[in-house]
């Protein structure tokens, strides 16, 4: 039994078409092979210039030399303790206390005579103005000042020359009460000589007093008082 051929599977009817396509492909490849040119590559070394401006300046850094560390301190010397074999003599301190049977000699201390001025404000026993002897000791200082003021008021006379010239003011008087109670060393300071003269006269008329005492011994006592001259 013979097989039947499929008319659609017959390839001979396409042979002319396939031949034409193959011929065209061969011609195209041949044309491309003819037209293809090879060029030799050349490099122009002169055109390749390296721009020097692009060079970066590298700063030169100076290396800081650090000083070497100080040497370590020397090791302390080892001190050997040598035992002292010498014997130390003990000193015996004798007691200075006296027995009850011993007699202690009394040393009499002689106080030097006081030859210095003691101000009226700090003296132990103030000078006694006549009339203050019976006053208690605590009130004798005030009694002395009151008696002085009464004496000034009693003997006060305003100088006529100072009155005529209209001179007035305060005269400061300082004087010394001696070891025997007498008045000496009168000094005055004021606005006018006439007023100073009158103040000196008043103080010079002070009576003799009982001298002041310090530690039971008579001493010199300086005293100062102001006398005011005022016109009415």
Whether 30 is covered by a domain: the verdict is no
∠ CA 114-173-138, nearest 5°, is: 55
Among residues 230, 189, 228, 225, the alpha carbon closest in space to that of 206 is found at: 225
Task: Please give the pLDDT value at position 87.
Answer: 57
Task: Please give the pLDDT value at position 161.
Answer: 93
Whether 9 is covered by a domain: the verdict is no
Task: Please give the pLDDT value at position 3.
Answer: 58
| Residue entry with tokens 């031949």 | 19
Task: Please give the pLDDT value at position 142.
Answer: 95
Structural domain total, the chain: 1
Strands 169-177 and 183-189: antiparallel
And the tokens for 133? 């002897």
Q: CA 135 to CA 133: how far, in whole Å? A: 6
Task: Please give the pLDDT value at position 180.
Answer: 95
∠ CA 143-146-153, nearest 5°, is: 155
Whether 12 is covered by a domain: the verdict is no
Please answer whether residues 184 and 175 qualify as being in contact, where contact means their C-beta atoms are separated by less than 8 angstroms.
Answer: yes
CATH of the domain at 170: 3.30.1150
pLDDT at 158 over 90: yes
pLDDT at 28 over 70: yes
Whether 49 is covered by a domain: the verdict is no
Among residues 116, 106, 109, 135, the alpha carbon closest in space to that of 217 is found at: 116
Task: Please give the pLDDT value at position 104.
Answer: 42
Whether 220 is covered by a domain: the verdict is yes
Determine the distance from the C-alpha atom of residue 66 to the mean position of all C-alpha atoms in its chain, rounded to a whole number: 40
DSSP letter (8 states) at residue 205: T
Whether 145 is covered by a domain: the verdict is yes
Strands 221-229 and 217-218: unpaired
Whether 75 is covered by a domain: the verdict is no
Query: Which of the pair, 29 or 6, is modelled with greater confidence?
Result: 29
And the tokens for 98? 């006296």
And the tokens for 10? 């017959």
Q: How many residues can be counted in the chain?
A: 232
Q: CA 199 to CA 207: how far, in whole Å? A: 15
Task: Please give the pLDDT value at position 122.
Answer: 93
Query: Which of the pair, 49 or 218, is modelled with greater confidence?
Result: 218
Poorest-pLDDT segment among 44-48, 55-59, 79-83, 165-169: 44-48
- Which residue segment(s) compose the domain that 145 sits in? 137-229
Through-space distance between the first and last CA atoms of the chain, rounded to whole angstroms: 191
Whether 201 is covered by a domain: the verdict is yes
Helix (H) or strand (E) holding 16: helix 15-35
pTM reported for the whole predicted model = 0.51
Please answer whether residues 211 and 106 qualify as being in contact, where contact means their C-beta atoms are separated by less than 8 angstroms.
Answer: no
């Amino acid at each position: 039994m013979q097989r039947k051929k499929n008319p659609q599977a017959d390839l001979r009817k396409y042979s002319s078409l396939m031949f034409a396509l193959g011929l065209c492909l061969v011609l195209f490849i041949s044309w491309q092979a003819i037209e293809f040119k090879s060029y030799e590559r050349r490099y122009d070394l002169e055109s390749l210039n390296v721009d020097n401006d692009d060079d970066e300046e590298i700063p030169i850094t100076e290396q800081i030399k650090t000083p070497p560390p100080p040497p370590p301190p020397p090791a302390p010397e080892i001190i050997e303790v040598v035992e002292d074999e010498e014997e130390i003599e003990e000193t015996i301190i004798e007691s200075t206390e006296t027995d009850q049977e011993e007699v202690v000699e009394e040393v009499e201390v002689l106080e030097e005579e006081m030859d210095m001025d003691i101000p009226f404000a700090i003296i132990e026993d103030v000078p006694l103005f006549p009339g203050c002897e019976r006053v208690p000791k605590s009130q004798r200082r005030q009694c002395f000042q009151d008696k002085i003021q009464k004496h000034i008021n009693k003997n006060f006379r305003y100088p006529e020359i100072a009155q005529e010239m209209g001179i007035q003011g305060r005269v400061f008087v300082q004087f010394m009460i001696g070891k025997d109670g007498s008045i000496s060393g009168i000094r005055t300071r004021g606005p006018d000589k006439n007023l100073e003269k009158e103040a000196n006269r008043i103080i010079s008329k002070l009576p003799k007093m009982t001298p002041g005492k310090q530690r039971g011994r008579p001493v010199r006592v300086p005293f100062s008082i102001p006398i005011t001259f005022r016109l009415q």
